[in-house]
Every structure is written in C-alpha cells, then in structure tokens.
Amino acid sequence: MTDCLNRERNSANCACSYPGCGRRGICCECVAYHRARKEIPGCFFPPQAEKTYDRSVSYFRKTSA
C-alpha cells in the first residue's frame, strides 16, 4: 500500500466496517479498488447498508432510492 499523509485523518472518518481492509484511510486506493470491480466504496452507503459489504451498483441504487 502507498503511504498517505492523510491516512490517520481519513481513517477517523472512514465508514468502512470491513475489519481486514488494508485500504482504510487511503481513499484514492479504495476508490480505485472498487472502481476496477465496478463497485461503489462503502462510505457512499448508509450505515446499515454498508455493513452488508454488498458494494454493487444495483444495491447502491436500492439503498439510495
């Protein structure tokens, strides 16, 4: 993982609840990771929806409707 000067500050505001995420606090890597998989990062989901770990665009549409 890339060193990130803002990692500590970003981590304090990170909504991702996945315990093994190595990208926590490195937003650019998180966005790139999910984008490559045609997913949406967890921080865009409401808290209960984020906890399902379903990052699909179709699930995002259901939760934000």
In whole angstroms, give the CA distance from residue 64 to residue 7. 27
* Six token digits for residue 56: 């699909």
11-49 pLDDT tens trace: 999 999 998 999 999 999 999 999 999 999 999 999 999
Helix (H, G, I), strand (E, B) or coil at 41: coil
pLDDT of residue 12: 93
